[in-house]
Amino acid sequence: MNLPHSLSSLAPVSREHTQALLDLRAEASAQIKPRDLYTLADRLEAQAIRHGERPFLIAGDQVLSYAEVDSQANQMAHRARAAGLQAGDVCAIMMENRPAFFTCWFGLVKLGVVVAFINTQVAGKPLLHALQTTAAKALVVGEECLGNLQATDGLPALPLWMVTDAETPWPGELPEGVDRTFATGLASAPRTPLPAALRAGIEAQAPTLLIFTSGTTGLPKAARYSHMRWLSSGDVMQVTLEAGVDDVFYCCLPLYHGAAATSVTSTALRAGASIVVRRKFSVREFWSDVARHRISVFQYIGEICRYLLNRPPQAGEREHSLRCMLGAGLAGETWQRWVERFGPIQVFEGWGATEANTNLINVDNYLGSCGRVPDWSRTNLRLVRFDVENDCHPRDEHGFYQLCEVGEVGEAMGFIVDHPDIGGGRFEGYTCAAATESKIRRNVLREGDAWWSSGDLLRQDADGYCYFVDRIGDTFRWKSENVSTQEVAEALGDLPGLELINVYGVQVPQHEGRAGMAAVLMQAGQAFDPQAFYRLTDTRLPRYAAPVFVRVTAAADLTSTFKLRKVDLQRQGYCPDACTDPLFIRDERSQTYQPYSPALLAQLGLPAFVGGQHG
Please report whether residue 391 resides in a domain.
no
Percent of the chain exceeding pLDDT 70 equals: 95
Cα angle value 60/63/66 (rounded, 5°) = 145
* Amino acid in position 228: M
Average the pLDDT over 484-510 and give the result: 90
Q: Indicate whether 528 pLDDT > 70.
A: yes
**Rounded Cα distance, 242 and 298, in Å:** 14
Residue 232 pLDDT: 98
**Rounded Cα distance, 561 and 120, in Å:** 12
Residue 488 pLDDT: 92
Q: Indicate whether 564 pLDDT > 60.
A: yes
Which stretch of 82-96, 108-122, 393-407, 482-496 has the lowest confidence by average pLDDT? 482-496
Average the pLDDT over 386-400 and give the result: 91
Average the pLDDT over 359-369 and give the result: 96
Closest C-alpha among 131, 133, 181 to residue 158 = 131
User: How many CB atoms within 10 Å of residue 397?
Assistant: 5
**Reported confidence tier of residue 562, pLDDT bands at 50, 70, 90:** low
Residue 605 pLDDT: 85
Q: Indicate whether 242 pLDDT > 90.
A: yes
| pLDDT digits 0-9 by tens, 421-437 | 999 999 999 999 999 99
Please report whether residue 592 resides in a domain.
yes
**Rounded Cα distance, 44 and 205, in Å:** 17
Residue 367 pLDDT: 95
**Rounded Cα distance, 215 and 512, in Å:** 28
Residue 515 pLDDT: 92
Q: Indicate whether 321 pLDDT > 80.
A: yes
Higher pLDDT residue, 331 or 61? 61
Residue 7 pLDDT: 54
Instruction: Classify residue 9 as exposed, middle or buried by CB count within 10 Å of its CB (0-12, 13-18, 19+).
Output: middle
DSSP string, 230-292: HHHHHHHHHHHHT--TT-EEEE-S-TTSHIIIIIIHHHHHHHT-EEEE-SS--HHHHHHHHHH
Pairing of strands 583-587, 549-553: antiparallel
Domain boundary among 169, 193, 225: 225
Average the pLDDT over 484-502 and give the result: 90
> What pairs with residue 108 in β-bridges?
none
When the pLDDT of each residue in the chain is averaged and rounded to a whole number, the result is: 92
Q: Are 40 and 26 in contact (CB under 8 A)?
A: no
Residue 558 pLDDT: 65
Residue 216 pLDDT: 46
**Reported confidence tier of residue 214, pLDDT bands at 50, 70, 90:** low
Which stretch of 3-7, 231-235, 573-577 has the lowest confidence by average pLDDT? 3-7
**Reported confidence tier of residue 48, pLDDT bands at 50, 70, 90:** very high
Residue 389 pLDDT: 75
Please report whether residue 200 resides in a domain.
yes
Q: Is 80 helix (H, G, I), strand (E, B) or coil?
A: helix
Cα dihedral 310, 519, 493, 540 sign: negative
**Reported confidence tier of residue 182, pLDDT bands at 50, 70, 90:** very high
Residue 122 pLDDT: 86
Residue 1 pLDDT: 27
Q: Indicate whether 144 pLDDT > 80.
A: yes
Higher pLDDT residue, 501 or 470? 501
Residue 560 pLDDT: 56
Domain boundary among 225, 253, 280: 225
Residues 130-151: b if buried by 16+ CB within 10 A, e if exposed:
bbebbbbbbbbbbbbbbebbbe
Over its C-alpha atoms, the chain yields an Rg (Å, rounded) of 25
Residue 613 pLDDT: 46
Q: Are 525 and 264 in contact (CB under 8 A)?
A: no
Please report whether residue 560 resides in a domain.
yes
Please report whether residue 245 resides in a domain.
no
Average the pLDDT over 492-507 and give the result: 91
Residue 358 pLDDT: 98
* Amino acid in position 174: L
Please report whether residue 201 resides in a domain.
yes
Please report whether residue 400 resides in a domain.
no
Residues 198-227: b if buried by 16+ CB within 10 A, e if exposed:
bbeebebbbbbbbbbbbbbeeebbbbbbbb
DSSP string, 95-155: --SSHHHHHHHHHHHHTT-EEEE--TT--SHHHHHHHHHHT-SEEEEEGGGHHHHHT-SS-
**Reported confidence tier of residue 4, pLDDT bands at 50, 70, 90:** very low
Q: Are 514 and 575 in contact (CB under 8 A)?
A: no
DSSP letter at 407 equals T
Query: What CATH number has the domain bearing residue 104?
Result: 3.40.50.980
Closest C-alpha among 222, 185, 188, 184 to residue 90 = 222
**Reported confidence tier of residue 479, pLDDT bands at 50, 70, 90:** confident
Average the pLDDT over 395-408 and give the result: 97
What domain count does the chain have?
A: 2
Alpha carbon distances (Å) from 397 to 31, 227, 244, 276: 42, 42, 53, 55
Query: What CATH number has the domain bearing residue 513?
Result: 3.30.300.30
Please report whether residue 101 resides in a domain.
yes
DSSP string, 153-186: SS--S--EEEE--SSS---SSPPTTEETHHHHHH
**Rounded Cα distance, 216 and 561, in Å:** 10
Q: Are 468 and 475 in contact (CB under 8 A)?
A: no
Helix %, strand %, coil % of the chain (to 5): 30, 25, 45
| pLDDT digits 0-9 by tens, 76-135 | 999 999 999 999 999 999 999 999 999 999 999 999 999 999 989 888 888 999 999 999
Residue 548 pLDDT: 96
**Reported confidence tier of residue 3, pLDDT bands at 50, 70, 90:** very low
408: number of CA atoms within 13 Å, CB side?
A: 15
* Domain containing residue 118: 38-56+63-225
| pLDDT digits 0-9 by tens, 454-476 | 999 999 999 999 999 888 888 88
Tell me the longest C-alpha to C-alpha distance in the chain: 78
* Amino acid in position 351: W
Cα angle value 207/54/278 (rounded, 5°) = 65
pTM to 2 decimal places: 0.85
Higher pLDDT residue, 379 or 558? 379
Instruction: Classify residue 44 as exposed, middle or buried by CB count within 10 Å of its CB (0-12, 13-18, 19+).
Output: buried
Domain boundary among 225, 251, 286: 225
